[in-house]
Chain A
Amino acid sequence: MALAGWGGSAVAAPIPARIVSLNLCTDEYLLITARRAQIASISRLGASHHETPLAGRAAGLATNQGALGGVIDQRPDLVLTMGASPQDMALAARLGMRMIALPYPQSPAEVTRQVQRIAGLVGNPAAGTHFARQQAALTATMPARATPALMLGGSGLAPSMQGLTAGWLRLAGLAQRQSGSVAIETLLANPPPLLIISRYRPGQFSGSQAWAAHPALARIKARRVAADGRAFLCGGAAMPAEIRRLRLALAA
Chain B
Amino acid sequence: MNLRLALLCTALLLASLAIGPVDLLAIAQTDPALARTLFVELRLPRAGLALLIGAGLGAGGAAAQALLRNPLASPDVLGPASGAALGAVIAGYFLGGGVLGMAMGSLAGAGGGLAILLALAGAGSRAGGTTRLVLAGVAVSTLFGVAINLALSLAPSPFALYDLMFWLMGSLADRTLPQLLLAAPLIALGLALLLRAGPGLDALTLGEDVAHSLGVALPALRRQVVIGIALVTGAGVAVAGNIGFVGLVVPHLVRPFVGHRPGRAILPAALAGAALLLAADIAIRLLPADLNLKLGVFTALIGAPFFLWLIRKGL
Contact = CB atoms under 8 A, between A and B. Distances in A.
Interface of A: 45, 48, 50-51, 154-156, 180-181, 183-186, 188-190, 200-201, 204-208, 210-211, 214-216, 219
Looking at chain B's contact residues, the main secondary structure is: helix
Given A45-B158, A215-B176, A188 B34 contact: yes
B176 A181 contact: no
Given A201-B157, A206-B160, A188 B37 contact: yes
A200 B157 CA distance: 12
Contacts of A206: 93, 159-160, 163
B132 to A, nearest CB: 38
Given A50-B157, A189-B27, A205 B22 contact: no
B21 A183 contact: yes
Contact of A205 (B38, B41, B43, B93): B93
Contacts of A204: 156-157, 159-160
B119 interface: no
Contacts of B159: 154, 200-201, 204, 206, 208
Contacts of B157: 45, 48, 50-51, 201, 204
B174 to A, nearest CB: 6
B10 to A, nearest CB: 23
Nearest to B43: A185
A210 B99 contact: yes
The 7 A-B pairs with the shortest beta carbon distances in the complex, nearest first, are A189-B22, A216-B41, A206-B163, A183-B21, A186-B21, A185-B21, A185-B22
Interface string B280-300: 000000000110100000000
Interface string B13-41: 00000001110000100000010011001
A52 to B, nearest CB: 12
Contacts of B166: 155, 207
Interface in B249-279: none
23 contacts: A180-B289, A181-B289, A181-B290, A183-B21, A183-B174, A184-B42, A185-B38, A185-B42, A188-B38, A189-B21, A189-B27, A190-B22, A200-B159, A201-B157, A205-B92, A205-B96, A207-B166, A207-B167, A208-B163, A210-B99, A216-B37, A216-B41, A219-B37
Given A154-B159, A155-B174, 20 more contacts: A50-B157, A51-B157, A155-B166, A181-B289, A183-B21, A185-B43, A188-B22, A188-B42, A189-B21, A201-B157, A205-B92, A205-B96, A206-B93, A206-B163, A208-B163, A210-B99, A214-B41, A216-B38, A216-B176, A219-B37
